[in-house]
Amino acid sequence: EVRFVESGGGMVQPGGSLRLSCAASGLTFSIYDMNWVRQAPGKGPEWVSSIVTGGSSTYYADSVKGRFTISRDNAKNTIYLQMNSLKPEDTAVYYCAADRWGSAVTVVSGASVDYWGQGTQVTVSS
């Protein structure tokens, strides 16, 4: 059975930091590009960041560039999202997603996603 378990969400004040984790099991993790997608209340999903299989290339939405860092540890079948300088508009449920061929557009639509995590809530509020 393929499982993705996310953790690290919570409530933080503006300007604070959180580190999300997404641990995978039941699949060959290293062959998948991995992504973070978020969905704020009442809004559609938003692609946040991607990292290729070996971790050599990373990509970010303009809204998080310079504040968020994606990384992966293939030995631990885990990806991370370090989120700094958090803003209220970062409030959302954050999902990890595994894909093998897509782009930000196909990931956010789900068209290229093979597996989704269950999501973890991030709330940025004073």
Q: Which two tokens stand for residue 85?
A: 């300088």
* β-bridge pairing 45-51 and 113-116: unpaired
Task: Convert the pLDDT of each residue in 26-45 to its tens digit.
Answer: 999 999 999 999 999 999 99
Contact 6, 95 (CB under 8 A): yes
Task: Convert the pLDDT of each residue in 83-111 to its tens digit.
Answer: 999 999 999 999 999 999 888 888 998 88
* β-bridge pairing 120-124 and 58-60: unpaired
Alpha helix ranges (H) inside the chain: 104-109
Q: Report the percentage of the chain scoring pLDDT > 90.
A: 90
> How far is residue 14's CA from residue 60's CA, in Å, rounded to a whole number?
20
